[in-house]
Structure 1
Amino acid sequence: MLRDGWKVHLLIPKENIEKIQEFEQKGCKIDYIKINSHGTNPCEDLILIYKYKQKLIELAPDIVMTFTIKPTLYCGISCNKLRIPFISTITGLGIAVENPSVKQKLIILLYKMTFKKVRCVFFQNAKNKYFFDKHNIKIKRQKLVPGSGVNLDAHCYEPYPEKDDTIRFLFIGRMMKDKGIDELLAAAQRIKEKHDHVFFDLIGFCEADYKGKAQLETLHKQKMINYMGHQDAIHDHIKAHHALLHPSYHEGMANVLLEAAACGRPVLASNIPGCQEAFDEGITGFGFEPRNVDDLVRAIEKFIALPYEQKQAMGIAGRKKMEQEFDRQIVVDAYMEEIENILKNKHQ
């Protein structure tokens, strides 16, 4: 879009400064908005809707694209009021939506209101799409895409680490319960007790409300795991490891699995929508049941037992799968088609 001369404004919370700087360097304009992602205070949410509306009046965009639940619902409501066309992407449901409750009913009602006038909704996995159909959330136009896809050039194939009798597993993501960190820490302890040549490296921010933070720090001091905090140059970290672990409870489509596979690394991930699409069982990786330490340990042990050459072959197969099914250009083309259709109809 920037290459075509469009002005691109990002309305985002001020969290990942490095990523924000990257967008600014590319020519995007950045505006900040405070979002309490896990908050349930209705007054806060009403203020958020008001702020979205004021910012949209100020910017007067031709099209708005929303991602994640609160921006999709509250910015979408504001777009409807101002008659601004918008496109939404469902990047996952989250526990509040997946589990039956009063909160779930309220969120479904908000989706029904918001999506009455949405131009197109992109789903990143089939189960999320099924949830919306099942709950009669009517959407005039919708598309299923392979997540955000993966940039095959930025995440090029890397030769497998040389054989040196060690096995290094990598986790990349936020340190929080929903990412399966509790199970990963428990599994790492059990594996380290039997295999002192196996190492676990964890990369990512630790959420302020993560109750396992003390355990994380203790295991780091005991050298059961190596917690590295936030890191840049993720590709370099992926290529230094033998496999990626992702024990998440729910996902839209786990980008880190796509990036690891594109790099030529096997992936071990939860058997859930948003993860299971990213690997072929026994060919490019192994799956395990979420929230299940025993099954996670089983999958890790299974990978450890593989001959070096089979681990290497898994990585090569994963790269081929990404090239065939998850090239980011597929996703970019799908979005651009919708954007161009909206603009064409708008100017007729």
Structure 2
Amino acid sequence: MANLRVFTTRSTVSLSPGQGFPAYMRIAIVINTSWNIYNFRMSLLQALLAEGHEVVAIAPEDSYSHKLVEAGCRFVPVRMAKGTNPFEDALLTWRLFYTYRQVRPDVVLHYTIKPNIYGSLAAHLAGIPSINNVSGLGTVFITKDYISNIALKLYRAAFRYPAKVFFQNQDDRKLFLKHGLVKAAITEVLPGSGIDVQKFVPNATFQRHQPFTFLMIARVLYDKGVKEYVEASWMVKARFPEVRCQLLGRVDERSRSGIKQQQLEEWIATGAIEYLGKTDDVTTVIVQADCVVLPSYREGTPRTLLEAAAMGKPLIASNVPGCREVVEQGVNGYLCRVRHAADLADKMMQLLQLEDGQLQQMGQASRRIAEEKFDDRLVIARYLQAIKEVTKDKG
């Protein structure tokens, strides 16, 4: 194999020990896309850099990789094929092992399914402690087929090795324990990836938009409840034709749960929804919505709901793991039955008929929940402590 390509820029942070760490550590963050690191883990990355540590981002190279370098990281590209291919997955374990042996991090932080599984095996073989984060179970516990059975066996084999496994809700943790996939002693629940409550803020004054606007933010997948959202939007518009129902998120036809572009275009053509494509500036879209909707089949702790809550928006989501951690029934929104378009439509109509004062109170409750339960500083503090614990012999 050719030598590793490493992209780096000089970090401007001061090199000072902090919170009982060794004076300097090299910490690797491994995720399935650079986009994911940049959009969901930058607060943690910046906190580690501020502590004076070297951060190495390991992920497939994409258009966000250079932004990680600009933020002060080293970037090491590693190819991760989508889908389930035993040969490719075996190669990924070897590629990550090779990368870890070359980079020689003091600790590896794994996120998303393939890094969690194959990265754990590679880190174990390389003799490097690892911390995993189960940010959602994807289709493993939703679609019951031979692939999900294989995934369970792989989790059971790989999760013998991490020093710590973080979950984003108690339901997922209990499910892993029930199936004997991980030892309880190394598990802990975090409030998702947290949310930067200084970046995501409400408008200074309450505004009800005309027409009333619902917004769903998610990849265009069946498992996210897109089909139910389209059907519910039709029902709502049948009674309130002026209402806008928008969908923001990228099409992912290669996913097991992916919705074909042709199907999406047919739904758009009916007028049920407006498709907004994708954007890196989600705040400008959320601010124009009256309510954010996520009828997902299962989540870790959905980032889109956290962003909307921090911006003071009422929420509607499925009564499933992950979503019900963010949405409190009747307080900051409504929970609907999973895979049930009619119930989702009913909740949407209930909310849009609320008086302005009631709508404003729900939005304020969302903001309070974001501040009290999901401030990303809580997540960062726990990660700093966990890194200290698993690397204590290196001090």
Q: TM-score, normalised by structure 1?
A: 0.93
Cα distance, 1:81 vs. partner?
A: 0.8
Partner SS for 1:311: helix
- Matching residue within 176, 181, 192 for 1:132: 176
How do 1:1-348 residues align onto structure 2 when only pairs under 5 Å count?
Answer: 1-15=48-62, 17=63, 19-37=64-82, 39-98=83-142, 100-139=144-183, 140-159=185-204, 162-163=207-208, 165-209=210-254, 210-347=258-395
Partner SS for 1:171: strand
Superposition RMSD in Å: 1.8
Cα distance, 1:290 vs. partner?
A: 1.6
Measure the CA separation in 2 of the matches of 1:240 and 1:21. Answer: 30
Partner SS for 1:9: strand
Measure the CA separation in 2 of the matches of 1:334 and 1:299. Answer: 36
Q: Is the 8 A contact 2:312 2:366 kept in 1?
A: yes
Distance 1:254 1:233, change over 3 A: same
Distance 1:207 1:100, change over 3 A: closer
Where has structure 1 moved over 6 Å in runs of 4 or more? none
1:128-165 CA distance string (max 9 Å, x none): 11011111223242211111111100111224653454
Cα distance, 1:107 vs. partner?
A: 2.4
Distance 1:244 1:179, change over 3 A: same
Greater Cα shift, 278-287 or 134-143: 134-143
Q: TM-score, normalised by structure 2?
A: 0.82
Partner SS for 1:318: helix
Greater Cα shift, 103-112 or 53-62: 103-112
- Amino acid in the other structure paired with 2:111: F
Cα distance, 1:61 vs. partner?
A: 0.9
Cα distance, 1:71 vs. partner?
A: 0.8
Cα distance, 1:322 vs. partner?
A: 1.2
Partner SS for 2:171: helix
Q: Structure 2, unaligned stretches of length 5 or more?
A: 1-47
Q: Structure 1, unaligned stretches of length 5 or more?
A: none
Measure the CA separation in 1 of the matches of 2:260 and 2:240. Answer: 24
Length, aligned pairs only: 344
- Amino acid in the other structure paired with 1:6: H
- Amino acid in the other structure paired with 1:207: D
Cα distance, 1:88 vs. partner?
A: 0.2
Measure the CA separation in 1 of the matches of 2:114 and 2:309. Answer: 30
Distance 1:215 1:105, change over 3 A: closer
1:170-214 CA distance string (max 9 Å, x none): 111111111111111111122222212210121111112434432
Greater Cα shift, 2-11 or 56-65: 2-11
Distance 1:35 1:306, change over 3 A: same
Partner SS for 2:196: coil
Measure the CA separation in 2 of the matches of 1:117 and 1:45. Answer: 18
Q: Is the 8 A contact 1:251 1:273 kept in 2?
A: yes
Measure the CA separation in 1 of the matches of 2:231 and 2:205. Answer: 27
Partner SS for 2:280: coil
Partner SS for 2:251: coil
Measure the CA separation in 2 of the matches of 1:149 and 1:234. Answer: 16
1:23-55 CA distance string (max 9 Å, x none): 232112222223234x12211111111111111
Measure the CA separation in 2 of the matches of 1:144 and 1:67. Answer: 14
Measure the CA separation in 1 of the matches of 2:293 and 2:271. Answer: 18
